[in-house]
Chains A and B, each alone.
Chain A
Amino acid sequence: MGDEPQTTALEVRELTRAFGVRRALDGVSFELPPYAFLSIFGPNGAGKTTLVKVLTTLLNPTSGNAKVLGLDVVADAVEMRKRIGLISHNPLLYPDLTAEENLLFFSEMYDVPDSRGRVTELLEAVELDHRRLDLTRTFSRGMLQRLSIARALLHRPEVIFLDEPYSGLDPHAMDILDGLIAQIRGEHTFVMISHDLDKGLELCSHALILARGKVVLYEPREAIDDAAFRETYRSTVGMGVA
């Protein structure tokens, strides 16, 4: 597994996840170039979270394949996990540990070099430095999310997945998140699920609409005509639960 420059960050081919008759994902295919920002839209139950879960190795596909950074999500899962990060609406943190202990624990898991330094750096970046010795159980939702972001970035993942990261955040936390994304935008690839059409469009370089497990639309940002897109979006989301 050499270090050739990746021509694609994500390569998804006929990805299907079905059980019996129900298909959460149905033949999804697309490619994402490196350092892109993909926004995924779609109604509830469209399969967005399932897609992200498959791409982050939390679920296995029933058929088809997917590659992140050239690594297969099934065959090279362990290797891949070192290079991706996930920020989800669950904070994914241990409530009985302090902020600092949480981050240290995860940096151990990911073999992060100079963990103490990195932890401090990130705590400062998400402005939680002053609470580093407090149990995460005492954190507000916004603070949890901020800490979660720090956790996801510990090992400097090349691809960062975000599952509705802005939900439940207060404006200040939102700003911090915006700032962080802007900061590291250049060297990372992003995949974000969002229900906020404006925010999603604003940030993205590519947009994907999923409905009932199928790709409805996949375009790079430049090719998108705002009005038409909003129309498609509204009609798709209007279809309701699959």
Chain B
Amino acid sequence: MELRTKEMLMSMGLYSLLTMVVYFVALSQAGAGFDPRDIAAGLLWLTFIFTSMLGLNRSLVHEKDQGCLEALLLSPVDRPVIYFAKVTGNLVFLLIVEALTIPVFAFLFLQGEAIDLRTMALIPLVLVAGSIGIAGVGTLLATMSVNTSGKDFVLAMLFIPLIYPLLLGAVMATGAAIVGTPEALGVFWTGMAWVIGYDVIMLLASYGLYEFIVGA
């Protein structure tokens, strides 16, 4: 697993970096007349969503190829446990990539902007909560999509609409944290409430549905 870990991390990390660079180039054309803080949150989460889709796909396709999933299903472990194991695995990946991306992001986009470090400290909260949602729903969907023809496309088609509410909440909260004014804090907690609400509901649903989906 360790080797696969390194390989996956590298590819996900690079992918995320590349996305950043693309944004940077694209936005540098827009001139200096806008406040990057406004869109920072959106960009950030966009990157995470796409990177996570990449990661999910690769890890599950890999597994399917060698029939590893079957082996797991054979072992005396309850199906829901398998679900949680996978979600946790994917989550950890995602978090590591996020941790690596943020400094790069700050460097590229937030240089010289006024940022309040205290509210920035709230950002990890959103990251973790949002990533939980992404990992939870994504794992379920990817388990299905690897068994289809047109795997990544199907995953994207299913994942993006479903994750939309989470995205809204996360961007709302992250944006508020970056801006850092006292009113923004209210927005932050509203966004967080949504993210957590989404997490709870969708994870419960995914957890319930997983055992019917896997091994179908």
Contact = CB atoms under 8 A, between A and B. Distances in A.
A110 interface: yes
B117 interface: no
A96 B74 contact: no
Interface in A31-54: none
Nearest to B75: A109
Nearest to B72: A109
B interface, over-half SS: helix
Interface stretch (B43-51, B62-70, B202-210): B62-70
How extensive is the interface on chain A, given as a class? 20 to 34
Interface stretch (A85-93, A168-176, A202-210): A85-93
B75 A92 contact: no
A56 B1 contact: no
Interface in B58-99: 62, 65-68, 70-78
B74 A86 contact: yes
Contacts, number: 58
Contact of A94 (B1, B7, B75, B78): B1
Given A58-B215, A59-B215, A92 B76 contact: no
Contact of B70 (A78, A92, A101, A106): A92
User: Chain B, interface size: which category?
Assistant: 10 to 19
A110 B73 contact: no
Contacts of A93: 66, 68, 71
Contacts of B114: none
Contacts of B118: none
Contact of A91 (B7, B66, B73): B66
A96 B77 CA distance: 22
Given A93-B66, A94-B1, A94-B4, 8 more contacts: A56-B74, A81-B75, A82-B76, A86-B74, A92-B74, A93-B71, A96-B4, A135-B3
Interface of B: 1, 3-4, 7, 62, 65-68, 70-78, 215
